[in-house]
């Protein structure tokens, strides 16, 4: 399997490029963002590659960086999201932008990606593995009130919200700190759903 290529951009076409490696032209499918990155540089460049083998073809997908390849791998595991739709998403959203949209359950933002559709956008947002990937990519903001994170409550909706974020892959101190900020902002009586929703948004900033 091919994991990376070092060479020069030979030509681009809709949905991909020909990448020249020592006189051999590799046909790669790429996102628009990767194509723009390749076209913006001269000389020898390095592309990360994902090789996908089907019954009738071996297809190479090229990526400008590891973050985009990681996002591609996550997307193609979602039912009905094949490699081509994954590239459509990554042509419109950066990996960080995609992670924020999924963590914040921004269905409209994803459904507005041309060629994706509302049903597929909803499937991406609702896929538990994608939620875990998205939250795992996000970097929470500093608490701003000292080095020690807020202690988690022992019971109630806040504790349940923290547990939900931990189950999605966050560390307990980070989850507790985020939920504490959300609870303070929403005030008493905040529902569990609101705490989780805003907690995800907080951690995806």
For 160-200, the pLDDT digits (tens) are 788 777 777 777 777 788 888 888 888 877 888 888 888 88
Three-state DSSP at 8 gives strand
- The confidence score (pLDDT) of residue 144 equals 35
Residue 102 CB neighbour total at 10 angstroms: 30
157 vs 88, residue with greater confidence: 88
Q: Which two tokens stand for residue 45?
A: 């460049």
pLDDT band at 149 (very low <50, low <70, confident <90, very high): very low
Pairing of the two strands 16-21 and 4-13: antiparallel
Is pTM, for the whole model, over 0.75? Answer: no
4 - beta bridge partners?
Answer: 48
What percentage of the chain's residues is helix, strand, coil (to nearest 5)?
50, 20, 35
Q: Under a CB-based contact definition with an 8 Å cutoff, are residues 166 and 177 in contact?
A: no
- The confidence score (pLDDT) of residue 205 equals 65
7 - beta bridge partners?
Answer: 45
């Amino acid at each position: 399997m091919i994991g990376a290529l070092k060479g020069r951009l030979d030509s681009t076409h809709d949905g991909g490029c020909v990448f020249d490696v020592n006189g051999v032209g590799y046909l790669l499918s790429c996102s628009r963002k990767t194509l723009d990155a390749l076209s913006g540089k001269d000389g020898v460049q390095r592309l990360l590659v994902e090789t996908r083998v089907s019954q009738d073809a071996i297809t190479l997908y090229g990526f400008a960086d590891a973050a985009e390849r990681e996002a591609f791998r996550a997307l193609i595991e979602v039912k009905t999201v094949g490699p081509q739709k994954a590239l459509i998403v990554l042509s419109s959203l950066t990996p960080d932008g995609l992670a924020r949209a999924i963590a914040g359950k921004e269905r409209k933002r994803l459904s507005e990606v041309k060629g994706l559709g509302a049903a597929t956008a909803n499937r991406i947002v609702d896929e538990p593995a994608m939620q875990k990937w998205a939250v795992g990519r996000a970097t929470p903001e500093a608490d701003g009130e000292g080095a020690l994170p807020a202690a988690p409550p022992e019971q109630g909706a806040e504790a349940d919200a923290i547990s939900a974020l931990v189950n999605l892959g966050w560390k307990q101190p980070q989850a507790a700190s985020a939920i504490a900020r959300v609870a303070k902002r929403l005030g008493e009586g905040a529902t569990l759903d609101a705490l989780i929703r805003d907690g995800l948004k907080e951690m995806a900033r």
